[in-house]
Amino acid sequence: MNCLQNSEEYNHELKYIITLDGGTTNTRAYLWRQDGSFVSSKKERAGVRNTAMDGSDQVIRETVKRCIDSLIEESHIEESQVQGIFCSGMLTSNVGLEEIPYLCAPVDERALCNAIECRFFSDITRIPFYMIPGVRNHVENIGIDTLEQMDVMRGEETEAVALLRERGKGEDLIFVLPGSHTKIIYANEEGYICRCKTTMSGELLDALFFHTLLKDSLPDFFVGEEEYDYQAVSDGARTAQKNSFTSAVFKTRIYQKYVHKDKKKAANFLLGVLMYYDCLSICEFKKTEALEEVQFVIAGKRIIAQAVYDILTDIMQEKKVHLLDEDELLAAKGAFRLAELYYKWKEGE
């Protein structure tokens, strides 16, 4: 019996779909009606980093179960009304629920749908899981000589699906998706996801902020959107232009001690340092892909996305840069789109 047959026998009045996104530090579950209307969400501050650190998947499995159970209970529906859970991100990796092989780029919606695999995790729920694969760059004979060309993504491909659906086809795009990791994705004018590149700037920012000597020069918590300081971010980026990474990072302490005593300005300075190196990677990516008339689309955590936008336009002098409003549902929208297509195409076979 396949997953679709199981779902139909499970309940003949199925009304809902859950999309589940597991990242490095957070796990999010979203409940949708089958007509595409969003119902509610649940977020847990635990991710696959826990598996990597603990050497056990117990925390992530308990987190997923808690997310799903809470979502169903608080939405006042029954488990049997949920047709499927479409799972993306690091939950489909070796430190997630089960590893699903990467698809090799270039890929489009159809390729992603065709590669979705069904799994059951009885310790979590009776609802079938539909595992959306990640995407890797097409590189033959991966080794030290081709290491620079190789990269992977899990979860960001669903964000790319949502962004491509919103913008449509017909132009080359580079998506910049800041988060725990910043993902840089090239999608061609035909709507294919072609290549990606990753930085660890989000995790590095967290580590530098809370687990180094710099903590003495920084506020207790990272600054919010209303505390974004363009000038301090620019100061950090221009300092990074003239120094190595480790030296520029340490300049945060000097900046707070001798230039601006305000620790919030120092936090913005550090953000500028890290995002300068991300923007350097973005421009190198554009050059590597030989893209002259490309549009940059930045979508992600607002304060980090704003810093990327400001540095790309002011320091890197890029002209075609679009900063989108933060959309916490972006990955979920892409996953739901794939769920729609999956049922449409599979049930039509």
Secondary structure (DSSP) of 120-135: --TTT-SSPEEE---E
Tell which CATH classification among 3.40.50.2300, 3.30.420.300, 3.30.2130.10, 3.40.1440.10 matches the domain 3-154+329-347: 3.30.420.300
Task: Kindly compute the dihedral angle of the four CA atoms of residues 247, 251, 254, 259, in this order, to the nearest 10 degrees.
Answer: 150
**What integer is the mean pLDDT of 269-273?**
98
Evaluate whether 182 touches 302 at the Cβ level (below 8 Å): no
Sheet containing 103-104: order of strands: 103-104, 135-136, 152-153
SS (H, E, C) 313-330: HHCCCCCCEEECCCCCCH
Mean pLDDT of 188-196: 96
Per-residue pLDDT, averaged over 11-28, amounts to: 82
Mean pLDDT of 101-125: 96
Identity of residue 336:
F
Please give the residue that has the higher pLDDT: either 348 or 109: 109
Going by the DSSP 8-state scheme, the letter that residue 294 receives in this structure is P
**292 against 115, higher pLDDT:** 115
CATH 3.30.420.310-classified regions of the chain: 168-318
Q: How confident is the model at residue 23 (pLDDT cuts 50, 70, 90)?
A: confident
* Mean pLDDT along residues 212-241: 96
pLDDT digits (tens, 9 = 90+) for 276-288: 999 999 999 999 8
Asked if residues 86 and 130 have their Cβ atoms less than 8 Å apart, the reply is yes
Average pLDDT over residues 14-21: 91
Closest CA to 328 of 68, 15, 38, 17: 38
User: What is the mean pLDDT of the segment spanning 227-247?
Assistant: 98
> Residue 94 — very low, low, confident or very high, per pLDDT cuts 50/70/90?
confident
User: Can you say whether the dihedral through the CA atoms of 226, 326, 329, 120 is positive or negative?
Assistant: negative
* pLDDT band, very low/low/confident/very high, at 10 (cuts 50, 70, 90): very low
Position 47 scores a pLDDT of 73
| Residue 268 β-bridge partners | none
- The predicted model gives 100-108 an average pLDDT of 96
Q: List the Cα angle 96/102/105 in 5-degree steps.
A: 145
DSSP 68-104: HHHHHHHTT--GGGEEEEEEEEGGGSTTSSS--PPEE
Q: What percent of the chain is predicted at pLDDT more than 70?
A: 94
Note the pLDDT tens digit of each residue in 291-330.
888 999 999 989 999 999 999 999 999 999 999 999 989 9
Instruction: Give the model's pLDDT for residue 171.
Output: 92
**31's tokens:** 């409940």
Kindly report, residue by residue over 196-206, the tens digit of the pLDDT.
999 999 999 99
Q: Find tokens 């990955």 and name the residue.
A: 331
Pairing of strands 129-131, 82-89: parallel
Residues of the chain with CATH 3.30.420.300: 3-154+329-347
18 forms bridges with which residues in the sheet? Answer: 31, 85
Q: With 80 as the cut, is the pLDDT of residue 339 above it?
A: yes
Q: Looking at the domain covering 168-318, what would its CATH class be?
A: alpha beta
Of the listed ranges 5-14, 77-86, 173-182, 190-199, the one predicted with least confidence: 5-14
Question: Mean of the pLDDT values across residues 221-243?
Answer: 96
Query: Quick check: helix, strand or coil at residue 336?
Result: helix
Residue whose tokens read 């769920």: 339
Q: How far apart, in whole angstroms, are the C-alpha atoms of residue 21 and residue 36?
A: 17
Q: Report the chain's terminal Cα–Cα distance, integer Å.
A: 16
pLDDT tier, 48 (very low <50, low <70, confident <90, very high otherwise): confident
- Mean pLDDT, rounded, of the chain: 91
